[in-house]
Amino acid sequence: MTYSSALYAEPLQEVASQSTPPPKQASQPDQPALRLNPQPQPRAETARASATAPSAESVAAANTRSAAGLSGADGGSGAGLNAGTSAALSAVPLSSADDDQMLAQAQRRKYQRLLGMLDAKPGQHLLEIGCGWGAMAEAAAERGLTLTGITLSEKQLAWAKARLDGSPLAPRVELRLQDYRDVTETFDHIISIEMFEAVGEEYWPTYMETLRERLRPGGTAALQVITISDDIFEDYKASPDFIQHYIFPGGMLPTVGRFDAAVQAAGLEVMQRDFHGKDYARTLRAWHRRFLAREPEVRALGYDGRFIRMWRYYLSYCEAGFLDNRIDVMQVALRHQAGAEDLT
């Protein structure tokens, strides 16, 4: 069975992407949505998934019940669980496959696919907006690219620098604590994974304009973006859902149409686009198994039962959204429109 490049695996704390605050800041400390952010554990300590994972029915039921322990965790009108999605969860069998190996391979394929969408050549300079824990930086450097990665997370920055310390790839990588709006150089290409939806609707134009301004003539940008279906966007926007309330405050998923409008308004055009929502659902299921298998370690890090219920609900909530086609994930390549201004 093959998996799309939309799949990816990271340690527990690497699941969440960074959020960009509305005020422009050159740097700032971590602002995790749940306000509890211990240091990530080394990859070598990632446990394998349990071969006796609970049934899909029990996971769906447990997480639906656990929501009752969270004030206001009702899913609102967004992407989450309802009778139909609970049934969809039950229809997907759990596997005893080696999740660690599967996810690691899929993670690498995702990076290679995004880099391939750029058609990046050795020696070219790549900007990564939201560089996370440094895995993309490694993948780019392995292809002979030079990468500048920026993040607002001090912990992510420290972790990423440590993983590259002493590596022969390190000379090709520069990592900074920096807001994307403060970058002044231009680059051959830009890559950004699940950052657009974190900046908030008000800043979608700024984000796209930054891509255009930071790209050299002929440059391309490859983005991975989670989208929401048109028919629920207005309700989702009007009433924050579980994810916006508990996990990613300030975030806003775009519809494909609204994303495209922001692209066009900035003088960019879509060159390639693929969707991988069902693969993301399988990724979330694998994350959930890994999380359950490591619950004692999670508690040892200081997370209590309430957090564990919340995180399990989050994983199932998102899985259900992808299975029910309320949300999707796209990988998209952008470039300057022919004749667009400000290409120098």
Amino acid making up residue 45:
E
Residues 6 or more apart from 99 whose CB is under 8 A from it?
Answer: 9, 48, 49, 286, 289, 290
Q: Catalytic residue positions?
A: 318
Q: In what order do the strands lie in the sheet with 215-228?
A: 173-177, 146-151, 125-129, 187-193, 215-228, 327-336, 268-275
DSSP string, 288-317: HHHHHHTHHHHHHTT--HHHHHHHHHHHHH
How far CA 310 is from CA of 25, 67, 258, 324, 342, in Å, comes to 30, 7, 30, 21, 46
Region of 175 on the Ramachandran plot (φ > 0 left; ψ -120 to 50 alpha; else beta): beta
DSSP string, 98-136: -HHHHHHHHHHHHHHHHHHHHT--TT-EEEEES-TTSHH
Helix (H) or strand (E) holding 269: strand 268-275
> d(Cα 227, Cα 329) in Å, to the nearest integer?
6
Of 121, 148, 339, 106, nearest to 220 (Cα)?
Answer: 121
Of 137, 128, 330, 334, nearest to 218 (Cα)?
Answer: 334
